Chain A
């Protein structure tokens, strides 16, 4: 039996405004509980919400980036339900008229083709607080610092057909919101998280299967695993004669499975209605023009430009343009390293990214500036050092503020370029190992590596690999 999978994502993106969407309290992450919650966030009686214009501008900017309609006169509604971390007993959201509608996004598929995923809508809303179930001895602590943090909920059309596609879509959105500078993209802190709607149907069936919604997935890996688990689970249910139940599920990262949170019957009736405390959102006449002017080069465009301008292949271009800061850094390196784009990509996404990850740093916090990295790359391309030695130099640069040249000089890492000196070493190695020479000559090509290794051992890696190969080939005849 062949199955078809239908996936739609709802991505909650926290907007990085200084203050909350309806109050003047700060939004910074990590403050002591309830120190960033004012009377409005606490839902005290009599206080009123006032819309943060920066949040509106940021939501509209997202709309522009995904080719969407931006509604003038979007309406805030109240979504009513009781929960201790929801101070007013309702969440201010947008239901009937969201600020952004009818967008689209192109994603790259594994087979190299592309696919356009529709974005149904993106609406503004306020985040809830957090319930802390540990540390309170059977009681629950409430932290309202997050309450009122602005969010856009980005809702896709149910147009993705595998977990991989869903992840590609989510990564693309993640990249765009960071490019736009409207979200810090920090998934661990919950700035970017998603709910996955998944259903399956037999290939050829017209009607959609019953869907489940898996909530609060805060890593790409979890999204992929949760969706794959859900697909398998739903197919199992149907194949064993059961029916998929419409419900909300939770993903458990510990045993990599999803479980029921609440069924449709238990679902809230949110009793949405327009919030009488807020007026429809009027967009200033020139806001969209201004935002359009501020719109940065987006990842897709940048990727294509990198291919054309620097001759990168698609994969490299995609990888390096996924983050705007990384792409900017890359372009700096290329500039200082006289156009060594391929090497720049390898170094930025290789050694540099590795070092950043290891130290849990963002590109903006790098220990090695683009200019310093560019000099290192130049020393490889002018044959002062080999690529292998360069890695050693990079490590030394990372833990100091020395330039590549200073490190090479201090450690005497310049390659041996004197052909006579190197020839003497090669002769010695060949002479001292007649048995291996015989093996090589009798057809065991692998033994060639043994000789290269020996030469490198004696030269401490400073021999130019190409020269060594050439000399060995001329001697082993």
Chain B
């Protein structure tokens, strides 16, 4: 059953080939027997999952698009009554009294949550090594990282411990782990999916999205989670198209741009080759491939590492030990309580970004850092705007290298930050992006990123689906988890 995609499982459930309870039970057993190797879940809720699966079976055909399908949720989405930790000691005791908008929508669609997945603490990281609950491992090579920050959600799908999962993407946190784990990951347009109940890292960049084996599965997930939400002022009131129906359109004549800046030094030659092969497949399907330029792309990482920390320094101020979350033992006074609760409750990378952000916003530095970064952000958006006058999608590698080893970069934040070089600009511009598996380099998955114009997720899903009809990279599974 676990070799089936979401779309296949949905059909099988509808045909009563098996029940949701059986399907969910199967995944529960897989998690129980395999997750010790990966550490992809931080909270596992089998009883609740079985209960919900039974209800899904009762609903049958009356259920939503994901009725009875098991999923996993990144532990950044608040779940009513189930712990939401953001993989931080700070929230190790936090149980939200509400569901995130995404969780509500998935419930309405009939999905059955298996539990909450591990991640970089507060979504800050590219390797899922900064979790309070320990490092997540890549199912393709457990000495390597699954990418981050949504590493638990990506590893779980790659190891078929869940057929699909939810992640968030602030600078590449869905696309990069999707690439490292050999699965499909979609980051929707900023504003397409409500951020309500999704614990904020950098509010102007954060966007919830999904992991699946296929582009088609990501279409099923997006169908369920997209839409306007009055509780999120940045959510956009724009009709939700039928993503699933759009998958089978011909991609003939679609123009695809290759930014010259993304095929220069620093890119692994093997990865470049896989991307070239993928381009050839798209060309054979009638796409027109042409070079384009994103002249300000090289500034993206610098701008991101001002804007994201600036927002995070403020977003994480609420974790002060006063009302909920971690509070230090025997505080000697207010300042001591603040100082020790935050010092002890937050991890190193989180504290580093809070410090950087507070500095960038402080009097005398604001113009030089924060405002400058915002200007760069506009330039990057304009680069993409110009590109989309010429092409329908922008294609590049998702990452400059394949998955690196655990501890390889964890003491060198700058190198770690550079692994997001192809994905970060997309967040700064607020555009949708998808990562698709395009083959293997020394037995490690390689990902290709496609980016489209605002609210044109269907173009990405359509391209991905048509590509996946011609290839089987996305169907490969890590041996140990077959």
Bind each other:
yes
Residues of B contacting A44 with CB < 8 Å? 96-98, 318, 324
Within 8 A of A (CB), among B331-383: 334, 338, 358, 361-363, 366, 370
Complex Cα spacing A276 to B373, Å: 15
- On whether the beta carbons of B317 and A45 are closer than 8 Å, the reply is no
Specify which of B234, B318, B334, B370 is in contact with A45 (CB 8 Å cutoff).
B318
Answer whether residue A273 sits at the interface, using C-beta atoms and an 8 A cutoff.
yes
Answer whether residue A467 sits at the interface, using C-beta atoms and an 8 A cutoff.
no
Q: Known contacts A82-B317, A277-B233: does B323 contact A45 (CB below 8 Å)?
A: no
Complex Cα spacing A51 to B232, Å: 10
| Contact string against B for A residues 253-297, beta-carbon threshold 8 Å, 1 for contact and 0 otherwise | 000000000000000010111001111000000000000000000
- On whether the beta carbons of B361 and A80 are closer than 8 Å, the reply is yes
Specify which of A45, A84, A276 is in contact with B78 (CB 8 Å cutoff).
A45
Answer whether residue B89 sits at the interface, using C-beta atoms and an 8 A cutoff.
no
Complex Cα spacing A45 to B79, Å: 11
- On whether the beta carbons of A89 and B317 are closer than 8 Å, the reply is yes
Specify which of A42, A50, A272, A273 is in contact with B323 (CB 8 Å cutoff).
A42
Answer whether residue B313 sits at the interface, using C-beta atoms and an 8 A cutoff.
yes
- On whether the beta carbons of B314 and A277 are closer than 8 Å, the reply is no
Residues of B contacting A50 with CB < 8 Å? 230-231, 233
Residues of A contacting B78 with CB < 8 Å? 45-46
| Contact string against B for A residues 161-203, beta-carbon threshold 8 Å, 1 for contact and 0 otherwise | 0000000000000000000000000000000000000000000
A183 to chain B, nearest CB (A): 25
Answer whether residue A339 sits at the interface, using C-beta atoms and an 8 A cutoff.
no
Answer whether residue A440 sits at the interface, using C-beta atoms and an 8 A cutoff.
no
| Contact string against A for B residues 210-252, beta-carbon threshold 8 Å, 1 for contact and 0 otherwise | 0000000000000000000011111000000000000000000
Residues of A contacting B199 with CB < 8 Å? 45-46
- On whether the beta carbons of B323 and A87 are closer than 8 Å, the reply is yes
Specify which of A45, A48, A89, A142 is in contact with B314 (CB 8 Å cutoff).
A89
Specify which of B197, B204, B319 is in contact with A46 (CB 8 Å cutoff).
B197
Residues of A contacting B370 with CB < 8 Å? 273
Answer whether residue B138 sits at the interface, using C-beta atoms and an 8 A cutoff.
no
Complex Cα spacing A42 to B361, Å: 25
B180 to chain A, nearest CB (A): 26
- On whether the beta carbons of A82 and B338 are closer than 8 Å, the reply is yes
Q: Known contacts A50-B230, A50-B231: does B362 contact A271 (CB below 8 Å)?
A: yes
A35 to chain B, nearest CB (A): 15
Q: Known contacts A46-B96, A46-B100, A82-B338: does B233 contact A278 (CB below 8 Å)?
A: yes
Complex Cα spacing A78 to B86, Å: 23
Answer whether residue A90 sits at the interface, using C-beta atoms and an 8 A cutoff.
yes
B400 to chain A, nearest CB (A): 28
Residues of B contacting A48 with CB < 8 Å? 195-196, 231-233
Answer whether residue B311 sits at the interface, using C-beta atoms and an 8 A cutoff.
yes
- On whether the beta carbons of A39 and B314 are closer than 8 Å, the reply is no
| Contact string against B for A residues 81-122, beta-carbon threshold 8 Å, 1 for contact and 0 otherwise | 010100111100000000000000000000000000000000
Residues of A contacting B202 with CB < 8 Å? 276
Complex Cα spacing A312 to B366, Å: 57
Within 8 A of A (CB), among B75-91: 77-78, 84, 86, 91
Answer whether residue A417 sits at the interface, using C-beta atoms and an 8 A cutoff.
no
A145 to chain B, nearest CB (A): 14
Specify which of A42, A88, A276, A277 is in contact with B317 (CB 8 Å cutoff).
A88
Residues of B contacting A273 with CB < 8 Å? 310-311, 314, 361, 366, 370
Answer whether residue A209 sits at the interface, using C-beta atoms and an 8 A cutoff.
no
A23 to chain B, nearest CB (A): 10
- On whether the beta carbons of A87 and B318 are closer than 8 Å, the reply is yes
- On whether the beta carbons of A82 and B310 are closer than 8 Å, the reply is no
Q: Most chain-B Cβ atoms within 10 A of its Cβ — which of A78, A87, A89, A269? A: A89
Q: Known contacts A51-B233, A273-B361: does B200 contact A46 (CB below 8 Å)?
A: yes
A158 to chain B, nearest CB (A): 22
Chain B, residue nearest A22 (CB):
B233
Complex Cα spacing A142 to B200, Å: 24
B74 to chain A, nearest CB (A): 12
Complex Cα spacing A39 to B323, Å: 11
Within 8 A of B (CB), among A39-63: 39, 42-51
- On whether the beta carbons of B317 and A47 are closer than 8 Å, the reply is no
Answer whether residue B417 sits at the interface, using C-beta atoms and an 8 A cutoff.
no
Residues of A contacting B198 with CB < 8 Å? 46
Residues of A contacting B230 with CB < 8 Å? 50
B16 to chain A, nearest CB (A): 38
Complex Cα spacing A142 to B199, Å: 24
- On whether the beta carbons of B318 and A271 are closer than 8 Å, the reply is no
Residues of B contacting A46 with CB < 8 Å? 77-78, 84, 96, 98, 100, 195-200
Residues of B contacting A87 with CB < 8 Å? 318, 322-323
Complex Cα spacing A47 to B100, Å: 8
- On whether the beta carbons of B234 and A279 are closer than 8 Å, the reply is yes
Complex Cα spacing A82 to B318, Å: 9
- On whether the beta carbons of B234 and A277 are closer than 8 Å, the reply is yes
Complex Cα spacing A271 to B100, Å: 29
B50 to chain A, nearest CB (A): 27
Answer whether residue B320 sits at the interface, using C-beta atoms and an 8 A cutoff.
yes
Specify which of A39, A84, A276 is in contact with B98 (CB 8 Å cutoff).
A39
Complex Cα spacing A279 to B203, Å: 12
- On whether the beta carbons of A45 and B310 are closer than 8 Å, the reply is no
A343 to chain B, nearest CB (A): 56
Q: Most chain-B Cβ atoms within 10 A of its Cβ — which of A45, A78, A276? A: A45
Answer whether residue B94 sits at the interface, using C-beta atoms and an 8 A cutoff.
yes
Residues of A contacting B197 with CB < 8 Å? 46-47
Chain B, residue nearest A89 (CB):
B317
Complex Cα spacing A47 to B232, Å: 9
A271 to chain B, nearest CB (A): 4
Specify which of B84, B94, B318 is in contact with A88 (CB 8 Å cutoff).
B318
Complex Cα spacing A44 to B100, Å: 12
| Contact string against A for B residues 182-205, beta-carbon threshold 8 Å, 1 for contact and 0 otherwise | 000000000000011111101110
Residues of B contacting A43 with CB < 8 Å? 318, 323
Q: Most chain-B Cβ atoms within 10 A of its Cβ — which of A39, A276, A279? A: A276
Residues of B contacting A140 with CB < 8 Å? 334
Residues of B contacting A279 with CB < 8 Å? 233-234
Complex Cα spacing A210 to B8, Å: 75
- Give 20 A-B contacts (CB < 8 Å), ordered by A residue: A42-B323, A45-B78, A45-B318, A46-B100, A46-B196, A46-B199, A48-B231, A48-B232, A49-B233, A50-B231, A80-B358, A84-B320, A88-B317, A89-B316, A142-B322, A271-B314, A271-B366, A273-B310, A276-B234, A279-B233
> A48-B231, A84-B334, A269-B362 given. 6 additional CB < 8 A pairs?
A39-B97, A45-B199, A50-B230, A80-B361, A142-B323, A278-B233
**6 tightest Cβ-Cβ pairs between the two chains A and B:** A89-B317, A276-B204, A271-B361, A276-B203, A43-B318, A46-B197
